[in-house]
């Protein structure tokens, strides 16, 4: 085809159609639809496969291996770094959508949307701790692939802290359940012996590289798959820890005269054990129209979901800012959280479209007491390159989302800034990505962050589970520079319109 030619041989497509009970689609309009996600990148797959069930997934992976074709699982397409974009076979996991609740655990298919899971768990008075700001639109498979966290990660952790079992298909077509498979578990334990722990990020959450550091025993070997972005296996389902929904909550909105003042106060705020501690800077406040006093430069949203009066008393004793609002009324709290969850939207409309850059420095995390240093690095970038940077994020976990505003045609400068930022973040004991994943944006910087010994351990893990190199290639392990390679300047086709097909749904 003129715009998006198919590179896969017709005989392979026939094999897929014969083997797969679900859909096998090659229409250009459908492939263009799947060429985009929530990022600034675009890669057109050659074929879109929508497996009917787990058997279809196994068959698709086996064919991909036999024919040396890349195969990449895709959830809801909300990723911000192109993690689910690749050539070859795009595997839409939406039909693996079962949910089974058993006490404090839920077995969840990777295609289940977060919104659907919330509705099921809500009927049982339960919830899942991690809560990405994109809300109900992301999939559980994507949350696992990126080690999603969200605002509640300060208390409840990321996905790696909330999963007890994972079933997946590796690059040879083996269906594996960890930690149940102790033989494979022993092999993973050997891999953990290869890592240099001195070079690991000293942060509360991390989505960079492979999480060999979280595997302390055979009972934790499944954690290696969390944050692996479909490069070690196609996740089919997972057992997740779920918790009781809090009966009561209280929200404080704290105003500060500068971001530095807010960051300096954060360690003490975190010490009061909030269920959320979120930051919004003055750029976003100017778009949100919250009716704040002119002297307020930024705000923290601090929420508690237990021992409310005790927590409130502790908070009042340590804050250096001003209490803008406090409430235990759910409607009022939702109003504030709606604005926080719209921060990405506000950050986009605050920037001219020609100055919107890829999400490549926007997900770093550092130890909470080093966030002032993180702001200093960002200010240095602004001074050196004449840029502007919008900041918001999960500061209770040391995770600041930084949206870079600059001429997006200056790709060499974008790449230079990303490399410099990653180096400086690593010096602070931080990670280049806390919850968005490496994708195209930061895979090339993983070795810089972790050092050669750890990177060799990651490559060994990749070879073990994906010996043919077909699972989402050039993510996590790559010799290429991909940060600006697949940028989509327009993100549109055919005169600004993208033709959609009912067959895609």
Residue 385 has pLDDT above 90, yes or no: yes
Write the CATH number for 176.
3.30.465.10
Q: Are 146 and 130 in contact (CB under 8 A)?
A: no
Residue 22 lies in a domain: yes
Closest by CA to 114, choosing from 87, 90, 95, 133, is 133
Do 91 and 219 share a domain, yes or no? no
pLDDT at 425 > cutoff 90: yes
Instruction: Identify the domain containing residue 477 by its residue range.
Output: 10-95+465-504
Question: What does the pLDDT read at residue 3?
Answer: 57
**Cα–Cα distance, 1 to 8 (Å, whole number):** 12
Question: Domain boundary at 244, 276, 308, which?
Answer: 244
Question: Looking at the predicted structure, is the pLDDT value of residue 494 above 60?
Answer: no
Per-residue pLDDT tens over the stretch 434-474: 999 999 999 999 999 999 999 999 999 999 999 999 999 99
pLDDT per residue as tens digits for the range 264-278 = 999 999 999 999 999
- Residue at 234 is within a domain: yes
Number of domains in the chain: 2
- Residue 483 near residue 433, CB atoms below 8 Å: no
Q: Which of 205, 226, 244 is the last residue of a domain?
A: 244
Q: What is the pLDDT of residue 345?
A: 74
Report pLDDT for 6. Answer: 81
- Do 229 and 133 sit in the same domain of this protein? yes
Higher pLDDT, 357 or 317: 317
Q: Looking at the structure, do residues 67 and 106 belong to the same domain, yes or no?
A: no
pLDDT tens digit sequence for 317-337: 999 999 999 999 999 999 999
Domain stops at, among 244, 275, 302: 244
Does 251 reside within a domain? no
pLDDT of residue 397: 97
Clarify whether residues 161 and 213 are in a common domain: yes
Tell me what pLDDT residue 502 has.
36
Are 48 and 91 members of one domain?
yes
The answer to whether position 485 is within a domain reads: yes
Please report, for the domain that includes residue 500, its CATH number: 3.30.43.10
Residues 17 and 127 reside in one and the same domain: no
Reported residue count of the chain is: 505
Q: Tell whether 172 and 50 lie within a shared domain.
A: no
Specify the pLDDT at position 488: 78
| Integer Cα distance of 418 and 407 in angstroms | 15
User: What pTM was estimated for this model as a whole?
Assistant: 0.94
Do residues 104 and 240 both lie within one domain?
A: yes
Asked whether residue 147 falls in the same domain as residue 171, the answer is yes
Strand-pairing partners, residue 401, are 392
Least confident residue range of 81-90, 157-166, 339-348: 339-348
Q: How far is residue 24 from each of residues 4, 33, 45, 172, 206, measured CA to CA in Å?
A: 17, 15, 12, 21, 35
Determine the Cα angle at 326 with ends 323 and 327, to 5°. Answer: 175
In the chain, the percentage of residues whose pLDDT exceeds 90 is 85
Classify burial at 478, counting beta carbons within 10 Å of its beta carbon; exposed 0-12, middle 13-18, buried 19 or more: middle
* Percentage of the residues of the chain whose pLDDT score is greater than 70: 95
Q: Which residue has the higher pLDDT, 310 or 406?
A: 310
């Amino acid at each position: 085809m003129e715009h998006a030619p198919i590179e896969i041989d017709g005989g392979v497509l026939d094999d897929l159609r014969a083997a797969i009970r679900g859909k096998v689609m090659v229409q250009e309009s459908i492939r263009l639809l799947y060429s985009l996600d929530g990022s600034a990148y675009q890669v057109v797959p050659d074929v879109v496969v929508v497996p009917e069930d787990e058997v279809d997934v196994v068959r698709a992976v086996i064919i991909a291996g036999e024919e040396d074709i890349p195969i990449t699982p895709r959830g809801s397409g909300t990723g911000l770094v192109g993690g689910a974009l690749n050539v070859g076979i795009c595997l839409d996991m939406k039909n693996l959508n079962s949910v089974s609740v058993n006490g404090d655990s839920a077995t969840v298919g990777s295609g289940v949307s977060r919104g659907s899971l919330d509705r099921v768990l809500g009927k049982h008075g339960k919830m899942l701790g991690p809560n990405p700001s994109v809300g109900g639109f992301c999939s559980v498979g994507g949350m696992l692939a990126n080690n999603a966290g969200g605002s509640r990660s300060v208390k409840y952790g990321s996905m790696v802290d909330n999963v007890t079992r994972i079933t997946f298909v590796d690059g040879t077509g083996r269906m594996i359940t960890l930690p149940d498979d102790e033989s494979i578990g022993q092999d993973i334990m050997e891999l953990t012996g290869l890592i240099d722990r001195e070079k690991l990020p000293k942060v509360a959450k991390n989505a960079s590289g492979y999480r060999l550091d979280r595997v302390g025993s055979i009972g934790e070997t499944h954690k290696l798959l969390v944050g692996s972005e479909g490069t070690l296996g196609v996740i089919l389902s997972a057992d997740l820890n779920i918790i009781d929904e809090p009966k009561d909550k209280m929200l404080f909105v704290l105003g500060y005269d500068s971001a530095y003042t807010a960051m300096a106060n954060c360690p003490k705020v975190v010490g009061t054990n909030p269920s959320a501690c979120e930051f919004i800077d003055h750029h976003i406040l100017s778009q949100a129209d919250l009716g704040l006093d002119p002297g307020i430069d930024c705000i923290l949203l601090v929420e508690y979901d237990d021992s409310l009066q005790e927590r409130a008393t502790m908070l009042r004793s340590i804050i250096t800012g001003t209490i803008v609002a406090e409430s235990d009324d759910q409607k009022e709290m939702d109003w504030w959280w709606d604005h926080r969850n719209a921060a990405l939207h506000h950050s986009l409309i605050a920037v001219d479209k020609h100055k919107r850059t890829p999400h490549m420095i926007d997900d770093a995390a550092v130890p909470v007491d080093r966030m002032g240093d993180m702001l200093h690095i960002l200010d240095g970038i602004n001074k050196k390159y004449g840029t502007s940077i919008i900041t918001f994020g999960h500061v209770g976990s040391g995770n600041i989302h930084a949206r870079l505003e600059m001429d997006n045609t200056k790709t060499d400068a974008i790449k230079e800034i990303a490399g410099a930022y990653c180096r400086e973040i690593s010096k602070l004991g931080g990670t280049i990505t806390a919850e968005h994943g490496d994708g195209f944006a930061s895979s090339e910087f993983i070795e810089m962050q972790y050092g050669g010994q750890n990177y060799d351990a990651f490559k060994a893990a990749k070879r073990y589970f994906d010996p043919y190199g077909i699972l989402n290639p050039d993510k996590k392990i790559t010799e290429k520079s991909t940060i600006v390679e697949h940028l989509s300047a327009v993100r549109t086709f055919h005169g600004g319109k993208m033709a959609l097909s009912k067959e895609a749904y």
